[in-house]
């Protein structure tokens, strides 16, 4: 059925557009700094921005960049050590990426 296929394609392209082109969900904000400091202390917007930069640079080579809030903090803590090995992250990169994704996982409610 051709119409079904078109719907499917529309769904896929819309999803890709939403993921690629929604700066709100990926870029750290001042609100995120507040969230981050509920868990850690003295986290700055610069640190979250650096985490975001490393995240996009190191985590999109093998698969699409995961949407941070697709996973809960608990899941990230299981996923990150494994992915860190794959990306050969330095200790600093690991720390910044972890702060970034866990903060972003708080910022939204959709979780699995
Ligand atoms: C060398 C390739 C490679 C790099 C670099 C890489 N990944 Fe992955 N990633 C994979 C593969 C392969 C899978 C699927 C199989 C698995 O879970 O091991 C995966 C799966 C995932 C998943 C889904 C896990 C799940 O259980 O659903 C997430 C989230 C993820 N990666 C995040 C990251 C993050 C964050 C980084 C950067 C720190 C990263 N990946 C870097 C190869 C990579």
Per-residue pLDDT of 16-54, as tens digits, reads 665 555 545 689 999 999 999 999 999 999 999 999 999
- Cα separation, 62 vs 31, in Å, equals 30
pLDDT of residue 21: 55
Q: Whose CA is nearest to atom 37 of ligand 1?
A: 59
For residue 104 and ligand 1, the question of a CB distance below 6 A is answered with: no
Per-residue pLDDT of 93-106, as tens digits, reads 999 999 999 999 98
**Residue 70 CA, closest ligand 1 atom number:** 29
Residue spans of alpha helices (H) in 21-90: 23-26, 30-39, 45-58, 73-87
Radius of gyration of the chain (CA): 16
User: For the residues of 58-72, what is the DSSP string, one character each?
Assistant: HSSSSSPPPPGGGS-
């Amino acid at each position: 059925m051709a119409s079904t296929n078109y719907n499917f394609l529309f769904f896929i392209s819309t999803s890709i557009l939403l993921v690629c082109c929604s700066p709100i969900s990926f870029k750290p904000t001042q609100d995120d700094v507040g969230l981050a400091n509920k868990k850690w202390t003295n986290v700055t917007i610069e640190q979250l921005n650096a985490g975001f930069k490393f995240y996009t640079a190191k985590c999109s080579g093998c698969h699409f960049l995961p949407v941070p809030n697709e996973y809960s903090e608990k899941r990230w803590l299981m996923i990150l050590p494994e992915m860190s090995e794959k990306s050969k992250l330095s200790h600093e990169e690991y720390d910044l990426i972890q702060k970034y994704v866990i903060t972003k996982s708080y910022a939204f409610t959709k979780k699995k």
